[in-house]
């Protein structure tokens, strides 16, 4: 999805909130809104939707949505300059995504751990996390995420070797 499309996604999801039905509940929409805000790096939206996503995920014991909420909080804490809190939330997300075998989501969370390590100026950790993300994305055939992660590694001066080359 193009960067500007995330704002449109959020607008459509927000419009759907008052119209929840049996096939989609507010827990689905809050998880999607928190996730879209995390991808946008929109701190005010994260502060609004991450708590609602977490509360609904806990209420319905929805492990995937709880992991999404943890990742959203992790991004929010990184953006707010709270690295210890960000790392704790992102690690919780990693555990849950691994538990439910959501490999693409796991890759996205490793990518966020890489961004956090970059913010902390910990290049070795950033390389490790981006490399973990790249492995998850490659295993899923997630081309755009592979490209984005390769670019992040290249910024660190650690361009990955292409498979088969």
Q: In the chain, which stretches have pLDDT less than 70?
A: 1-25, 159-165
For residue 157, the model assigns a pLDDT of: 85
Q: How far apart are the C-alpha atoms of 105 and 93, rounded to whole Å?
A: 9
What's the first-to-final CA gap in the chain, in angstroms? 28
Under 8 Å between Cβ of 140 and 108 = no
For residue 152, the model assigns a pLDDT of: 97
For residue 54, the model assigns a pLDDT of: 98
- 4-32 core/surface letters (b: 16 or more CB in 10 A; e: else): eebeebbeebeebeeeeeeeeeebbbbbb
For residue 26, the model assigns a pLDDT of: 80
For residue 1, the model assigns a pLDDT of: 40
For the question of whether the overall pTM of this predicted structure is more than 0.75, the answer is yes
């Amino acid at each position: 999805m193009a960067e500007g499309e995330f704002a449109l996604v959020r607008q459509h999801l927000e419009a759907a909130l008052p119209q929840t039905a049996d096939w989609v509940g507010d827990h689905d929409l809050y998880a999607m809104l928190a996730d879209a805000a995390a991808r946008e790096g929109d701190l005010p939206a994260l502060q609004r939707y991450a708590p609602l996503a977490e509360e609904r995920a806990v209420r319905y014991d929805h492990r995937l949505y709880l992991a999404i909420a943890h990742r959203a909080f992790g991004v929010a804490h990184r953006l707010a300059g709270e690295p210890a809190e960000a790392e704790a939330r992102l690690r919780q997300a990693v555990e849950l995504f691994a538990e439910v075998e959501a490999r693409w989501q796991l890759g996205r969370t490793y990518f966020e751990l890489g961004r956090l390590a970059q913010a902390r100026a910990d290049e070795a950790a950033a390389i490790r996390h981006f490399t973990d993300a790249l492995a998850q994305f490659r295993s899923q055939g997630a081309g755009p995420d592979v490209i984005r992660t390769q670019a992040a590694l290249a910024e660190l001066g650690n361009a990955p070797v292409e498979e088969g080359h």
